[in-house]
């Protein structure tokens, strides 16, 4: 089955008011029809460079294949954490984010799952990654959101925060949180 790029589109502020910039790459397949009685037709997965994110991505690809669903893959760059950063450093983060998205798109393509990718950035007005991801999930009409969680507790959770927890709290769609092998089960 052949997947074709449908172009690269850059969306500024108004299309995603919480995100400063969003790069979207679409690959479509003629077999992108939901299966009869499919529970999910648009699955949104957030990725980063962690091992648990890889597990979440593979899980989302499997679900999308099983349901005949469109997969939407996103990576967010937290500009607020980089207010000190030089533009070159931000460009490096963007390049690394695009590499992650391209790799994820290749995995979806290998599984014959139609997918889009979005490289998102938090705005400089106080948006956090969970808000940006939730907004993008709504924009693509996601009926399931999948993301990984390290399962940190206590002080680690307090200092690191939890994007997964924020998305679960903010999302209108059901959220599937995939835990990594190192997460606590208590």
User: pLDDT by residue (tens digit) across 16-36?
Assistant: 444 444 455 554 444 457 788
Quick: pLDDT tens for 142-160.
999 999 987 666 555 554 4
Q: Kindly list the distances between the CA atom of residue 154 and the CA atoms of 86, 151, 159, 165, in Å, as whole numbers in the listed order.
A: 33, 10, 9, 14
Q: Which two tokens stand for residue 71?
A: 């997969």
> What are the structural domains, with CATH classification, of the chain?
11-31+38-179 (3.40.50.620)
Residue 8, strand partner residues: 25
The per-residue pLDDT for 17 is 43
The reported pLDDT for the residue numbered 126 is 64
pLDDT for 183 beyond 90:
no
Q: From residue 12, give the alpha-carbon distance in Å to each of 9, 24, 30, 120, 143.
A: 10, 11, 29, 11, 24
């Amino acid at each position: 089955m052949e997947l074709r790029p449908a172009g690269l589109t850059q969306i500024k502020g108004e299309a995603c008011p919480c995100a400063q910039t969003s790069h979207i790459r679409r690959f479509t397949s003629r077999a992108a029809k939901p299966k009869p009685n499919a529970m999910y037709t648009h699955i949104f997965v957030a990725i980063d460079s962690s091992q648990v994110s890889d597990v979440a991505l593979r899980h989302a690809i499997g679900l999308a294949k099983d349901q005949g669903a469109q997969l939407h893959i996103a990576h967010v760059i937290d500009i607020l954490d980089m207010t000190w950063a030089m533009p070159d450093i931000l460009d490096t983060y963007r390049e690394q984010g695009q590499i992650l998205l391209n790799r994820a798109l290749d995995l979806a393509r290998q599984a014959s799952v139609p997918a889009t990718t979005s490289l998102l950035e938090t705005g400089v007005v106080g948006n956090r990654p969970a808000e940006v991801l939730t907004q993008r999930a709504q924009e693509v009409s996601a009926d399931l959101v999948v993301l990984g969680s390290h399962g940190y507790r206590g002080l680690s959770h307090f200092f690191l925060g939890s994007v997964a927890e924020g998305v679960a709290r903010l999302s209108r769609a059901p959220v599937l949180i995939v835990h990594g092998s190192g997460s606590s089960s208590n």
